[in-house]
């Protein structure tokens, strides 16, 4: 009679081959960034970059400016309806602060743009790609620091075509800032 050998048994997959747990973990780790990227793209396609959280609406700043707008011919009616509907509502945006006219650390007015690098290398952002943010005087200490990294800004959004004396639209989105925090 032959002696039985004691060896640990691995669980078998449906085809009878053993499951290698390390391989499964490696594949999951490699796939995670691709799955997250796919999730973000699908979520933005479904929501249009506007997600209601009850007491505020999260808005994707890149989506908000991703439409054709002729600043000398178009008006607020050219802004997609989902963004026009945000007029007067409390929103939260993530982007980078740009304050060319502010000196020192007390920043009261700034532009919120999706990416400052795009401004520098691709020309200035188009009028629909920026939000002109203003910290009300009664909100001392809110944006008293010029952040060099991305920020999350919450406040009341206004959607209105503001024209220059020459008749071109110089602002579509303005915001009364409540909070500014680094991301």
User: Within 13 Å of residue 173, how many CA atoms lie on the same side as its CB?
Assistant: 30
Measured from the Cβ of residue 73, the count of other Cβ atoms closer than 10 Å reads 10
CATH number at residue 130: 2.40.50.870
Give CA–CA dist 67/182, Å, rounded.
27
59 in the same domain as 40: no
pLDDT tens for 120-167 read: 556 778 899 999 999 887 666 565 677 888 999 999 999 999 999 999
138 in the same domain as 75: yes
* Strand bridging mode 90-98 / 57-59: parallel
**Tokens, residue 83:** 């963004």
Residues near 137 by beta carbon (within 8 Å), at least 6 away in sequence: 108
Look at residue 86 and tell me if it is in a domain: yes
120 in the same domain as 71: yes
Output the CA–CA distances (angstroms, integers) from residue 10 to 14, 27, 41, 137, in the order listed.
Answer: 13, 19, 39, 68
Look at residue 7 and tell me if it is in a domain: no
Look at residue 28 and tell me if it is in a domain: yes
174 in the same domain as 148: yes
Range of the domain at 26: 12-47
42 in the same domain as 71: no
Specify the pLDDT at position 30: 94
Look at residue 129 and tell me if it is in a domain: yes
Specify the pLDDT at position 87: 97
pLDDT at residue 29 tops 70 = yes
| pLDDT tier for residue 14 given thresholds of 50, 70 and 90 | low
Q: Can you tell me which residue has the tokens 């007390």?
A: 106
- Number of domains into which the chain is organized: 2
Look at residue 3 and tell me if it is in a domain: no
């Amino acid at each position: 009679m032959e002696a039985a050998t004691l060896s640990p048994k691995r669980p078998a997959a449906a085809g009878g081959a053993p499951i290698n747990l390390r391989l499964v973990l490696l594949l999951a780790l490699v796939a995670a960034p691709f799955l997250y990227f796919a999730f973000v793209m699908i979520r933005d396609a479904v929501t249009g970059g506007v997600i209601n959280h009850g007491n505020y609406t999260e808005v994707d700043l890149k989506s908000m400016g991703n439409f054709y707008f002729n600043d000398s011919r178009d008006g607020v009616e050219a802004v997609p309806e989902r963004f026009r509907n945000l007029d007067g509502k409390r929103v939260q945006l993530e982007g980078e602060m740009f304050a060319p006219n502010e000196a020192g650390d007390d920043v009261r007015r700034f532009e919120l743009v999706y990416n400052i690098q795009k401004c520098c290398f691709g020309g200035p952002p188009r009028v629909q790609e920026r939000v002109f943010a203003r910290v009300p005087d009664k909100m001392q200490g809110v944006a008293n620091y010029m952040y060099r990294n991305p920020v999350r800004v919450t406040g009341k959004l206004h959607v209105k075509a503001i024209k220059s004396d020459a008749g071109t639209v110089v602002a579509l989105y303005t915001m009364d800032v409540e909070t500014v925090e680094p991301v």
